[in-house]
Amino acid sequence: MSRLKSIDPAAATGKAKKLLDAVKGKLGMVPNMTRVMASSPAVLESYLNFSGALAGGLLDAKTREKLALLTAQENSCDYCLSAHTAIGKMIGLKAEEIVASRQGKSSDPKTTAALTFATQVLDAKGQINDAELAAVRDAGLTDGEIAEIIAHVALNVFTNYFNIAAGVDIDFPKVSHAEAA
């Protein structure tokens, strides 16, 4: 059971209701994470705005999901790992791509470079060096794409930490970070 209050969308009022209704309209369901975030509409609105803005960015949906899977694995967030495994399958990621993403690998060299860079950002808490930045550029990623990789790491660290700290109940088919990736 979640350690923070979960807002029932049917009983929500005001801004929380508006935001939860928008989530349901977009996804057809209201995930537990957004129900718990709705205890502070500012938190839920921030998450929705940040993720919505990045969805319209340079990185395609598959790359965004691969970054989310990697970050969830690195941070041991089973909620996000479960959610992004399900979402990844919905957008066409194959099982082997999901596993590879959790390991920071891809059959595409440019995606591997993005995942490697994301791992470096995570491991160094943003303190990357010039050689790491040069390597991701040399792999063909633009500064805009690099900026978005950093932003996706930040967004996913937020959701990972939120779900772990709040103890949000997993409402997707469960995947564990401890399972062989």
Structural domain count, the chain: 2
pLDDT digits (tens, 9 = 90+) for 150-167: 999 999 999 999 999 999
pLDDT over threshold 80, residue 180: no
- Do 160 and 120 lie in one domain? The reply is yes
Host domain of residue 111? 61-166
Q: Is the whole-model pTM more than 0.85?
A: yes
Q: Output the 3-class SS for 100-145.
A: HHHCCCCCCHHHHHHHHHHHHHHHCCCCCCHHHHHHHHHCCCCHHH
Count Cβ atoms within 10 A of the Cβ of residue 101 and give its class: 0-12 exposed, 13-18 middle, 19 or more buried: buried
Residues 69, 84 within the same domain: yes
**Per-residue confidence (pLDDT) for residue 181, from 0 to 100:** 58
Average pLDDT over residues 43-51: 98
Tokens matching residue 2: 């979640």
Q: 């390597």: which residue's tokens? A: 135
Q: Which element (helix H / strand E) includes 155?
A: helix 143-166
pLDDT confidence tier of residue 179, bands split at 50, 70 and 90: confident
Mean pLDDT of 88-101: 97
**Tokens encoding 47:** 């998450």
What does each C-alpha distance from 80 to 36, 50, 108, 135 come to in angstroms?
14, 16, 24, 28
Tell whether 48 and 65 lie within a shared domain: no
pLDDT at residue 135 greater than cutoff 70: yes
93 and 158 together in one domain: yes
Quote the tokens at residue 148: 């978005």
Tokens of 63: 């790359």
Q: Residue 181 falls within a domain, yes or no?
A: no
State mean pLDDT over 132-147.
98
Q: Give me the pLDDT at residue 94, please.
A: 98
Are the beta carbons of 78 and 166 closer than 8 angstroms? no
What CATH number did the domain enclosing 71 receive?
1.20.1290.10
